[in-house]
Amino acid sequence: MISLSKVALIVGLMAAPLLGAAQSSVLVWQDEFEGTGLPDNTKWGYDVGGDGWGNNELQYYTGSDTNNARLHNGKLIIEAHKESYLGKDYTSARLVTRNKGDWKYGRVEVRAKVPAGTGTWPAVWMLPTDWEYGGWPASGEIDIMEYVGYDPNIVHQTVHTQAYNHLNGTEQTSSTTLATAEEEFHIYAIEWSEDKIDFFVDGVLRFTFENEGTWQKWPFDKRFHLLLNVAIGGNWGGVQGVDDSIFPVQMEVDYVRVYQAPGHFEITGETYIQPNAEQVEFSISNVIEGEFEWSVPADAEIVSGQGTNTISVNWGNTEGDVAVELTVNDETYNYSKSVQLLTVPVGEEYVMDHFDDQSIENISYSNNDLNSFAFSEENSELKVSYQIADPGLWPKFIVDFENPIDLSGHQSMQVRLKTYNNSGSVRMRVDLMDKQGRQTNANPVFEIEPVGDGEYHDYHYNFAGNWAAGAPNFGETVNRQMIQKAVVYLNYGFYGIDNASDSLWIDFIKMNSEPLAYGELNREMKITVSPNPATSYFTIPKTDQKVDRVRILDMTGRVVKETYYNTNRVTIGDLPQGVYMVLLFDENNILKYRTKLIKSNY
């Protein structure tokens, strides 16, 4: 039960106008730390470990250990000890609200008393929950209060971003002299809106960080969670060493309260879900004393949580809105979230686009003075014509699917196309792009150098293990459960041909649940011949596949030479100078290997 003094303080805060963006706010999250034992596990988790946390800290953070984190006399006690534990000389605790209390905008307020002593480094701070702009510092950090024991009576409030951080000495920070920080409780707070973050100490505005309009300077349009901890030593806290005579030391926290303006509330949960998905969770900021009334589409069912800020839903087969009506202080607010269905392929094959609907509205491209595309449908096939002056601009067109597609069970792509390739420029590449805009552009990629005989051929590529994203999302992985687009490059990049025009016809783009061997044109099929360029002959390395014949095509797709593979040496002195494609087939005329060859006269 909350103490009478705390009740009076809450009533006073709710009655008094809050500063800045919080003037119309309501209490959405709180912990008054009443009771005994461990902190409330519905509100707090722990970061556990002793790896130094990027700051060369000396402590081991424990989890669910009353020696380091407990409730006592209406306070949260975070206590650091001098003791050997799992290779560290100190223990402490780092409490987090991650996925238990996550907010975008609002007032976050903590009443706390910090420990004294050289080597201590207590903090009240916030980190991004989803790290959508990348690792630290790209996704941001908000330090509501930091204190280093070797520099007593000074509290620090700081913002870190990609552009502003302590690694390059550009962090945005403020320091406040507070003579009783170690002896008395003080209120540390931020008020955070889409325009700025205001920092307060005991209700006095100390520092304002404004939104400058780019994610590198302002990544604070995503949800963040709260952290409370006492570090020992480290790059900052340990500048003057650690005084071992001070232990144990405590940071005491009287309360944590979070207020938000109802106008900033958003329903969180999956935007795209599978038909008939079960136990799908939707949530909105909790409001103390608020009343919640949820609604879902007619063929969906709320299985739990009606009347609370979080519901669990068994979905149906239609798209629609999840909505909630919130009533608080005799005011009513309404919120909704549109939920769309994922396309989930059934069976071994799934045609992503067969171009037989007499519509090309789902195809986008950027024509300009140097490169242009034209599209038409002919006999349920897509005809693509292009004029490309500058391949260095990476000309492309994009096929946008009606709904995101879950390709977790279908990872082999099959493209059926034909071309005469009269220009020798029909070189194609297909990337898959997820709903977040990441595409499969990290090597290896699906490249097609099609046969130019005017006949349809199937080209295959196995995406299994090849979902890595390249620029600008290096190190990330494409979400194969939410594929939204196919990006098709033509006559592109370094090997593209200037001032070229040509056409090709695409019958379909299809995904298969299993990799297909026939006609598979992928990175593993390529061979390396030598010498290349060659003048009179080239040699072919031994292969793992049985090869029956060698076929050489010019860049129009015309067969200019064919010989049996009874030796690994092929003469080409009779061929004109130029670029050729070398194809190796087995006795069943199935293509096994390919490579590009340059014939030189020098």
Residue 262 has pLDDT above 80, yes or no: yes
Residue 61 has pLDDT above 90, yes or no: yes
Whole-angstrom Cα distance, residue 475 to residue 468?
7
Identify whether residues 154 and 274 lie together within a single domain. no
Whole-angstrom Cα distance, residue 373 to residue 380?
19
Least confident piece of the model among 186-200, 292-306, 319-333, 353-367 = 353-367
Contacts of 83 (CB under 8 A, 6+ apart): 89, 90, 91
CA atoms within 13 A on the CB side of 410: 22
Are 309 and 378 a contacting pair, CB within 8 Å? no
pLDDT (0 to 100) of residue 560: 87
DSSP string, 150-169: TSTTEEEEEEE-SSS-TTTT
Domain finish residue from 466, 491, 523? 523
Give the distance, in angstroms, between the CA of residue 82 and the centroid of all CA atoms in the same chain.
Answer: 39
Contacts of 524 (CB under 8 A, 6+ apart): none
DSSP 49: B
Identify whether residues 447 and 464 lie together within a single domain. yes
Whole-angstrom Cα distance, residue 513 to residue 318?
26
Which CATH number covers residue 534? 2.60.40.10
Identify whether residues 496 and 530 lie together within a single domain. no
Task: Report pLDDT digits (tens) over 421-459.
Answer: 999 899 999 999 998 899 999 888 899 988 888 999 988
Helix-strand-coil split of the chain, %, nearest 5: 5, 45, 50
Are 441 and 469 a contacting pair, CB within 8 Å? yes
Instruction: Please identify which of the residues 32, 57, 79, 141 carries the catalytic annotation.
Output: 141
pLDDT (0 to 100) of residue 518: 38
Identify whether residues 151 and 224 lie together within a single domain. yes
Query: pLDDT class for 337, splitting at 50, 70, 90?
Result: very high
Identify whether residues 486 and 403 lie together within a single domain. yes
Helices vs strands, H then E, count in the chain: 2, 42
Whole-angstrom Cα distance, residue 46 to residue 534?
65
Least confident piece of the model among 233-237, 329-333, 334-338 = 329-333
Residue 267 has pLDDT above 80, yes or no: yes
Task: Report pLDDT digits (tens) over 117-166.
Answer: 999 999 999 999 999 999 999 999 999 999 999 999 999 999 999 999 98
Whole-angstrom Cα distance, residue 341 to residue 149?
54
Are 223 and 98 a contacting pair, CB within 8 Å? no
Are 531 and 462 a contacting pair, CB within 8 Å? no
Mean pLDDT, the chain, whole residue set? 89
Mean pLDDT value across residues 4-13: 34
Query: pLDDT class for 13, splitting at 50, 70, 90?
Result: very low
Highest mean pLDDT among 205-214, 367-376, 513-522: 205-214
Instruction: Please identify which of the residues 32, 109, 146, 449 carries the catalytic annotation.
Output: 146
Which CATH number covers residue 73? 2.60.120.200
Which CATH number covers residue 459? 2.60.120.430
Identify whether residues 233 and 140 lie together within a single domain. yes
Identify whether residues 222 and 277 lie together within a single domain. no
Mean pLDDT value across residues 254-267: 92
> What is the Rg, in whole angstroms, of the alpha carbon atoms belonging to the chain?
32
184 as an active site residue: the answer is no
Identify whether residues 314 and 378 lie together within a single domain. no
DSSP string, 171-225: -EEEEEE-TTTTTS-EEEEEEE-SSEEEEEETTEEEEEEE--SSTTT---SS-EE
Mean pLDDT value across residues 28-56: 96
Identify whether residues 440 and 533 lie together within a single domain. no
Identify whether residues 354 and 431 lie together within a single domain. yes
Does pTM surpass 0.75? no
pLDDT (0 to 100) of residue 23: 44
Residue 517 has pLDDT above 50, yes or no: no
Mean pLDDT value across residues 507-524: 65
Identify whether residues 462 and 421 lie together within a single domain. yes
Domain finish residue from 523, 551, 575? 523
Identify whether residues 489 and 356 lie together within a single domain. yes
574: containing domain: 526-599
349 as an active site residue: the answer is no
Whole-angstrom Cα distance, residue 476 to residue 334?
36
How many structural domains compose the chain? Answer: 4
pLDDT (0 to 100) of residue 52: 95
Domain finish residue from 262, 297, 319? 262
